[in-house]
């Protein structure tokens, strides 16, 4: 159990069974917050760098650049620190302060392209990252179109199959770049052909169509006007559903206060939609939820009463529905 590199601690994250209401399907949370950096995206960050090194795209002491909402940046910052690369994260004001502080702690350079503007600036982030890479001879990991992203989740799929065999009926996950769910779902379906893969995005995101609108869930979805990345593979999905900010954040808060489970904002939306499925699927079915990060990065937002109230995100109806779906 003694490792020599922090990246060797990636993976083998635990499964946690939720206490669902009688007559519901089994709901298992894949707790990716137990990876280094507290997020699943460390898996694909490492793999994108591995594949770039193998292809001769990274020289010793070189520079990495990425456009990120935070978790991919945290993963790349850790890998860069471990392997001796420089790393520049291009961000906007959708990133939580804790994610930015984390990247700086690993020695990353932060470039915020949004000025004082709130919300996502995905297109501007990507354009800036591409320009910086060209100007400085850096490697832009370009997570939205880099197949090293979904390839990085082969191990996650393998872990699930080793732990649960063929007994997985549904796989739920958030869809941002699409890497974690598309990668895990594609590789897991090779072993479980009947597996149903359900993607969850915020209300206001346009991955699965619908009208675009602002949303507060970070690290997930695609805002109107931004390109849907090539990593999003629609053939993997059996269904795409949307979770409101209130559904996502009230779920996070309910799990924390009633079960001591602290998960990230977008993961709350995925859990909420999985619980709805559990009621209709009934006993005998198993739902696995990819919980891509923990709640410790959202203490100033999702778990802050003043912030929730200021944005009108409290919803007693959601809380009542959660009480009915959970024991």
Average pLDDT rounded to a whole number, residues 52-59: 95
pLDDT at 121 over 90: no
pLDDT digits (tens, 9 = 90+) for 231-263: 999 999 999 999 999 999 999 999 999 999 999
Average pLDDT rounded to a whole number, residues 179-203: 97
Cβ proximity of 130 and 88 under 8 Å: no
**End-to-end CA distance of the chain, in Å?**
36
pLDDT band at 322 (very low <50, low <70, confident <90, very high): very high
Backbone angles phi and psi of 20, in degrees to 5: -85, 165
The per-residue pLDDT of the chain, averaged, comes to 95
Residue 226: the pLDDT is: 86
| pTM for the predicted model, two decimal places | 0.94
Residue 225: the pLDDT is: 86
pLDDT at 118 over 90: no
pLDDT at 282 over 80: yes
Average pLDDT rounded to a whole number, residues 2-6: 96
Q: Say which residue, 105 or 97, is predicted with more confidence.
A: 105
pLDDT at 132 over 90: yes
How far is the CA of 239 from the CAs of 143, 168, 252, 258, 262, in angstroms?
Answer: 23, 16, 23, 30, 27
pLDDT digits (tens, 9 = 90+) for 305-318: 999 999 999 999 99
pLDDT band at 211 (very low <50, low <70, confident <90, very high): very high
How far is the CA of 324 from the CAs of 19, 26, 120, 169, 255, in angstroms?
Answer: 11, 15, 34, 23, 13
Average pLDDT rounded to a whole number, residues 86-95: 90
pLDDT at 73 over 80: yes
CA–CA dist 273, 252 (Å, integer): 13
pLDDT at 94 over 80: no
pLDDT digits (tens, 9 = 90+) for 133-167: 999 999 999 999 999 999 999 999 999 999 999 99
pLDDT band at 56 (very low <50, low <70, confident <90, very high): very high
Average pLDDT rounded to a whole number, residues 26-48: 97
Distance of CA 64 to the CA centre of its chain: 21
Cβ proximity of 39 and 78 under 8 Å: no
Average pLDDT rounded to a whole number, residues 27-55: 97
């Amino acid at each position: 159990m003694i490792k020599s590199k922090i990246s060797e601690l990636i993976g083998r994250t635990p499964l946690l069974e939720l206490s669902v209401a009688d007559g519901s399907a089994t709901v298992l949370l894949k707790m990716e917050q137990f990876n280094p950096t507290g997020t699943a995206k460390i898996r694909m960050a490492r793999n994108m760098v591995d594949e770039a090194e193998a292809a001769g795209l990274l020289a010793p002491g070189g520079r990495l650049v990425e456009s990120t909402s935070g978790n991919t940046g945290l993963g790349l910052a850790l890998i860069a620190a471990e392997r001796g690369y420089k790393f520049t994260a291009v961000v906007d004001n959708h990133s939580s302060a804790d994610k930015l502080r984390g990247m700086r702690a690993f020695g990353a350079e932060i470039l915020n392209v949004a000025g004082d503007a709130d919300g996502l600036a995905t297109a501007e982030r990507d354009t800036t990252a591409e320009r910086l890479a060209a100007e400085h001879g850096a490697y832009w990991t370009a997570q939205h179109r880099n197949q090293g992203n979904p390839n990085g989740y082969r191990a996650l799929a393998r872990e699930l199959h080793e732990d649960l065999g063929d007994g997985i009926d549904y796989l739920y996950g958030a869809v941002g770049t699409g890497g974690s769910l598309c990668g895990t779902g594609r590789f897991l379906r090779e072993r479980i052909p009947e597996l149903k893969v359900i993607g969850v995005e915020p209300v206001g995101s346009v991955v699965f169509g619908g009208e675009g609108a602002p949303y507060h869930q970070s690290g997930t979805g695609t805002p109107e006007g931004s390109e849907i990345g090539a990593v999003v593979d629609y053939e993997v999905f059996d269904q795409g559903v949307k979770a409101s900010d209130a559904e996502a954040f009230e779920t996070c808060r309910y799990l924390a206060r009633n079960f001591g489970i602290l998960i990230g904002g977008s993961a709350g939306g995925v859990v909420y939609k999985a619980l709805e499925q559990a009621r209709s699927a009934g006993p005998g079915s198993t739902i696995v939820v990819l919980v891509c990060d923990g709640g410790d990065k959202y203490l100033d937002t999702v778990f802050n009463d003043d912030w929730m109230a200021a944005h009108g995100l409290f919803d007693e109806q959601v809380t009542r529905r959660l009480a009915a779906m959970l024991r």
